[in-house]
């Protein structure tokens, strides 16, 4: 069973010989850039460098599936008109200005959306990845989800105020953003993605109540997933315990959760709904500043708690030690070499 077959079997609920190890968020680590000779900012805009860094996760970090579509979650927002802050080797693109904070009536969905920003670069990166490793490992696309994109376009504080005081404005923005999300996801599948991950950090319970999540975010994501031409996963940061059932009910095949969430409980809920779980070794603490042994132990606990895909709980910080990431695969191999595995 090669890595791609193992991954896709698990994603679709079929039997596998062992739990896949990888990341369904971003892994643009400085050590990986140095090893493969493809560093930011070149690896943010050049398809060859972007593909090299993506493959480096497999070749040097023990990650068993590969990310396309860059190293941040701003591409859809950029194509709508957000200004981005410049990246550095240890800094991702970030939102610098929200162009529709004062006038959402100017917001529309342009016909040439997929010719804007980095999407032409992503198309070429997909082609390179398919040619080099497409038969061996799964390839996924990822961008920001609809609520996170809406927050980028009008400002986080503004959007959150509107959820309480002007929900009609939130819905107007989401209606426009949804079409872009659908087209971007299907663009990824047309380019050869095996699955796609919607990243929705701004809609997490740290910022948005579960009630509002169910009212505003769940229907938007459910519509997007219904119109997607392939399997979709959903990543949300923070303690997502209260919204795990709703996340699963969007129609996604997988959910990605942080260490703040109860992994064992999430697995139990998700499996009753036919959904797989990615996670959830802590990125901001254990992987970033912990010892290799601590990373190994936390990875082992995630396996014991039933994760379907052993993965970091969120995006891997650029300065994360490579040795810490390698502990995920080591823990998985040792786990399945024991009777308990």
Per-residue pLDDT, 22: 98
230: Cβ–Cβ under 8 A, 6 or more apart, which residues? Answer: 185, 188, 189, 193, 194, 195, 196
Report the C-alpha gap between 81 and 95 in whole angstroms. Answer: 10
Mode of pairing for the β-strands spanning 94-97 and 83-85: antiparallel
pLDDT digits (tens, 9 = 90+) for 237-275: 999 999 999 999 999 999 999 999 999 999 999 999 999
Report the C-alpha gap between 266 and 223 in whole angstroms. Answer: 23
Per-residue pLDDT, 214: 97
CB-CB contact of 260 with 227 (8 Å) = no
Per-residue pLDDT, 341: 55
pLDDT digits (tens, 9 = 90+) for 271-320: 999 999 999 999 999 999 999 999 999 999 999 999 999 999 999 999 99
Per-residue pLDDT, 339: 62
Q: Residue 236: is it exposed, middle or buried by C-beta count within 10 angstroms (0-12/13-18/19+)? A: buried
Per-residue pLDDT band for 183 (boundaries 50, 70, 90) equals: very high
The H or E element containing residue 169 is: helix 167-190
DSSP class of residue 40 equals T
Per-residue pLDDT, 306: 97
Mean pLDDT to the nearest integer, 172-191: 98
Mean pLDDT to the nearest integer, 14-21: 96
pLDDT digits (tens, 9 = 90+) for 34-60: 999 999 999 999 999 999 999 999 999
Task: Give the CATH number, domain containing residue 233.
Answer: 3.20.20.210
Report the C-alpha gap between 102 and 331 in whole angstroms. Answer: 50
Mean pLDDT to the nearest integer, 52-70: 98
Mean pLDDT to the nearest integer, 223-227: 98
Domain count for the chain? 1
Show the tokens assigned to 85: 């802050």
The H or E element containing residue 302 is: helix 292-304
pLDDT at 340 over 70: no
Report the C-alpha gap between 334 and 277 in whole angstroms. Answer: 21
In the chain, the percentage of residues whose pLDDT exceeds 70 is 99
Mean pLDDT to the nearest integer, 2-20: 96
Mean pLDDT to the nearest integer, 172-185: 98
pLDDT at 215 over 90: yes
Per-residue pLDDT band for 160 (boundaries 50, 70, 90) equals: very high
Per-residue pLDDT band for 1 (boundaries 50, 70, 90) equals: confident
Mean pLDDT to the nearest integer, 87-105: 95
Residue with tokens 């009008």: 154
Report the C-alpha gap between 209 and 203 in whole angstroms. Answer: 9
Mean pLDDT to the nearest integer, 103-107: 94
pLDDT digits (tens, 9 = 90+) for 122-136: 999 999 999 999 999
Q: Could you list the residue range(s) of the whole structural domain that residue 255 is in?
A: 3-337
Q: Comparing C-alpha atoms, which of 162, 136, 314 is closest to residue 235?
A: 314
Per-residue pLDDT, 81: 96
């Amino acid at each position: 069973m090669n890595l791609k077959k193992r991954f896709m079997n698990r994603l679709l609920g079929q039997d596998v010989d062992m739990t896949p190890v990888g990341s369904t968020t971003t892994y643009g680590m400085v050590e990986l850039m140095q090893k493969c000779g493809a560093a930011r900012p070149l690896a943010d805009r050049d398809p060859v460098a972007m593909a090299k860094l993506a493959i480096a996760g497999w070749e040097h970090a023990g990650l068993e599936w590969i990310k396309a579509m860059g190293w941040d979650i701003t591409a859809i927002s950029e194509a709508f008109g957000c200004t981005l802050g410049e990246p550095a080797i240890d800094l991702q693109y970030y939102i610098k200005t929200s162009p529709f904070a004062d006038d959402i009536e100017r917001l529309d969905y342009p016909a040439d959306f997929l010719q804007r920003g980095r999407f032409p670069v992503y198309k070429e990166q997909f082609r390179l990845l398919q040619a080099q490793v497409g038969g061996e490992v799964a390839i996924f696309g990822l961008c920001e989800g609809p609520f996170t994109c809406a927050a980028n376009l009008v400002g986080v504080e503004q959007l959150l105020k509107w959820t309480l005081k002007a929900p009609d404005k939130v819905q107007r923005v989401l209606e426009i953003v949804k079409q872009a999300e659908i087209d971007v996801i299907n663009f990824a599948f047309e380019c050869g993605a095996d699955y796609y991950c919607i990243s929705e950090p701004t809609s997490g319970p740290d910022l948005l109540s579960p009630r509002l999540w169910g009212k505003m975010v769940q229907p938007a994501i459910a519509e997007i997933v219904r119109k997607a031409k392939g399997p979709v996963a959903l990543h949300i940061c923070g303690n997502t315990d209260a919204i795990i059932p709703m996340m699963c009910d969007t129609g996604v095949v997988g959910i990605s959760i942080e260490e703040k969430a109860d992994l064992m409980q999430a697995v139990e809920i998700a499996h009753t709904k036919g959904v797989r779980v990615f996670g959830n070794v802590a990125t901001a603490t254990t992987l970033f500043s912990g010892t290799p042994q601590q990373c190994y132990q936390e990875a082992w606990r995630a396996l014991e708690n039933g994760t379907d895909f052993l993965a970091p709980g969120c995006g891997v910080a650029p300065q994360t030690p490579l040795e810490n990431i390698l502990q995920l695969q080591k823990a998985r191999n040792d786990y399945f070499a024991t009777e308990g595995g």
